[in-house]
Chain A
Amino acid sequence: MVDHKHQDIDAATGTATTGHEWDGIKELNTPLPKWWLYVLYACMIWSVGYWILYPAIPLPGGETKGILGWSMRGAVTQDLADLQADRAPMVNELNKSTLQQIASDPKLAEFARAYGHSAFGVNCAPCHGANGQGSKGYPNLTADRWLWGGSLDQISATITHGARYGDPDGHQGDMPAWGAQGLSKQQIDDVANYVYSLSHKTTEDVSAGKKVFADNCTPCHGADAKGNPDMGAPNLTTRIWLYGGDKADLVQTITYGRGGHMPAWGAKLDPATIKSLTVYVHSLGGGQ
């Protein structure tokens, strides 16, 4: 222990020693720098201000509220309200205008695309890809090949109510699993060949498949196989495929059906966001 009355002062530095000594080497007792200590004390005093201003001390009857009346949740509610107020002029415009008006007004359309793009990244990109290019099972939104139609109103309906996702207004109706619906393996093979031939030059005779198609597939995909957006049946004559376009994929699709699930966003996103998403998706290249 330091004996302050009989302090041993180190001659070389002028600093007191702790009194410890090993083989003639003494341990200095260098005090903390004064400025450091005073900053520490100042911080302690500063903290008292916080106890008074902000919620702090848990007492048996509840915590002290602080004279500012601040709360974390109150603050975020305010932040969100401010954000909405910031966006309000444009968002109100979106709410008032029809999709067609938004798309044709350059300033509004630009805002809607930017707003839609950011909502797309958060909500849609995991399925449709960062730029809407899609992947197996998740449609490409940048091409003019639609299941449920590519007009502004059709896109908006799909986003709002989804497909096969439990929303009663959503798109329903599956493509039958033809393997269980009376088509033989041979017939499925034939019709797959025929479907393949619609987008590829082939010298094979596909007339057997053409007949199977005419007998079974036209109600949904149409006599020309160009699809029908009311049934969610895609055009089969392009080389853009939702579930893959080689023979094996086609056989798989036709045998088992698919029935993709697109979530319904109407309950999760507000109308202005859905309008913006619609205009954004429509602008990706495939809009009709």
Chain B
Amino acid sequence: MSLWNKHAIFEKNSIILSVGILIVVAIGGLVEIGPLFYLKNTIETVGGVRPYTPLELEGRDIYVREGCYLCHSQMIRALRDEVERYGHYSLAAESKYDHPFQWGSKRTGPDIARIGGKYSDDWHRAHLNNPRAVVPGSVMPRYGFLADSPLDYRHVREKMKVLRVEGVPYTDEDIAQADADIKAQSSPDDTAAVDALDKRYPKAVAHAALGGAATPTEQDAVVAYLQMLGTTVDFKLYDEKANWR
């Protein structure tokens, strides 16, 4: 009986087959996932990447809740045409505080990894309310209700604490100041509060909130999130060659 006929034992016994599958998949996983934890070059060393501000974090949760990722990727691949269209390819470091990341692979709409700052807040609001008002042929659904829903951020501290367990470096002060930071980011005219926010979260941009600083709307949070995407890394300081892989 040759070696090649030994597989019959797997084919005839479902328990042995299951154990066999488990072992094969475990080896695959070990080889593919394991090294990511110890190889130093998995996550590039770049300056600027920071955790989400509480308002952006809430916006991100709404992004996930509404399933925006089903039509939008946040991963500019290292391919010529993508870099030409969307800007510098995404770095692993840029999603190191994402739990879970929003890379996605479905592009019914464009990639939005670097959408931050590209359009005005007004445009995002008009577009979320009714995409066809600004882009006539768009198939994106309307999200007008976000503008009518006050943002419920009662649980933002708990969320930050959980993220801290997952490795996001929120300090005790960040967590204690979460509510104040949400208000600060919703009131660009309150320069003292915005400065305090900026110390904790460099490059955070404050956005005049529809709902006012005390109760920003869900739309305000989504806009704050969209407007920071891809803006934190200063590519002038990024050592391109050292991170070739």
A contact residues vs B (CB 8 Å cutoff): 1-2, 4, 55, 58, 60, 62-63, 71-77, 79-80, 83, 122-123, 125-127, 129, 135-138, 165, 260-263, 268
Contacts and interface: CB of A to CB of B under 8 A. Distances in A.
Contacts of B8: 1-2
Contacts of A2: 5, 8
A268 B121 CA distance: 18
B243 interface: yes
B35 interface: yes
B120 A263 contact: yes
A241 to B, nearest CB: 16
B119 A127 contact: yes
B145 interface: no
B245 A55 contact: yes
A263 B80 contact: no
28 contacts: A1-B8, A2-B5, A4-B1, A4-B5, A58-B35, A58-B39, A60-B38, A62-B40, A63-B35, A63-B39, A71-B244, A73-B89, A74-B244, A75-B78, A76-B89, A80-B83, A122-B85, A126-B123, A135-B134, A135-B136, A136-B133, A137-B122, A138-B123, A261-B120, A261-B122, A262-B120, A263-B118, A268-B118
Contacts of A1: 5, 8-9, 12
Interface of B: 1, 5, 8-9, 12, 31, 34-35, 38-41, 78-80, 83-85, 89, 117-123, 126-127, 133-136, 240, 243-245
B41 A62 contact: yes
| Interface secondary structure of A, over-half rule | mixed
Nearest to B86: A122
Contacts of A122: 85
Contacts of B89: 73, 76
Nearest to B79: A76
